[in-house]
Amino acid sequence: MTRTTMTTTTPITIAIDGPAAAGKGTLAKRVAEAYGLPYLDTGLLYRAVGKLAHEAGTDLGDAEKVGEIARRLATDHLDDPALRGHEAGEHASRVAVHPQVRAALVKFQRDFAARPTGAVLDGRDIGTVIWPEARVKIFVTASPEVRARRRTDELLAKGREVEYERILAEVRARDARDSGREVAPLRPALDAHLLDTSELTIEMAFRAACDVIDSSMGGRNDV
């Protein structure tokens, strides 16, 4: 069922950022569904660029060449289920450091955000760079240990052989790359609400996010 903010037709504009495996995708999807809003997982754009570059044999560190691939990205590239995989995430994080890549992807994200109903976008720099005007900004986080545990369990459930310690090292490396890059580093916007999910179930995190959204939009109308 859809939650609505009453008394207003103001678009509901929600930016959700946070590090890898903090649960922001799951949360953003549920929020979008609950409020009847279109949802864009912006990580998919970087994942698609990383995958296309990797498949073309392009050096992921070559900003010009990878930037060219980003400029030619088409929406049907985003449907590939392999983009959700672990390797695609690593490639994405490497190509996302290039200003040329980021610049090529800005317009698509801003056009999506400008939909008249409002929208939910999740990523790393939505509240800070892509959509500073979003009315609701949530920065979802969890300790690296909790995120690595969740990711390990997820991969084990899919039948993959993984070690917690290796995943933890990867989570830390990805955090360092995403937060340490010069352009649009991962960090909470000054006006973002911090949501630490370390000790929360998905349901609790969802409820907490709805409380933030309802109060930021100036009222609530629970269903």
Give residues in contact with ligand DC (CB under 6 A).
20, 42-43, 46-47, 89, 92-93, 96, 123-125, 174, 178
The DSSP code for 83 is G
- Determine the Cα–Cα distance for residues 46 and 93; give it in Å rounded to an integer: 7
- Determine the Cα–Cα distance for residues 140 and 11; give it in Å rounded to an integer: 22
Output the residue with the shortest Cβ distance to ligand DC.
43
Nearer to ligand DC, 34 or 178 (CB): 178
Nearer to ligand DC, 5 or 42 (CB): 42
Smallest distance, ligand DC to C-beta of residue 219, A: 29
Smallest distance, ligand DC to C-beta of residue 89, A: 5
Smallest distance, ligand DC to C-beta of residue 196, A: 18
Structure tokens at 223: 């269903």
Q: Are 24 and 30 in contact (CB under 8 A)?
A: no
Smallest distance, ligand DC to C-beta of residue 206, A: 18
If you compute the radius of gyration of the chain from its CA atoms, what whole number of angstroms results? 17
Structure tokens at 214: 């309802």
Nearer to ligand DC, 96 or 119 (CB): 96
Q: Are 90 and 174 in contact (CB under 8 A)?
A: yes
Nearer to ligand DC, 122 or 217 (CB): 122
Smallest distance, ligand DC to C-beta of residue 5, A: 26
Nearest residue to 51 via CA among 24, 81, 23: 81
The amino acid that residue 77 corresponds to is: H
Nearer to ligand DC, 10 or 115 (CB): 115
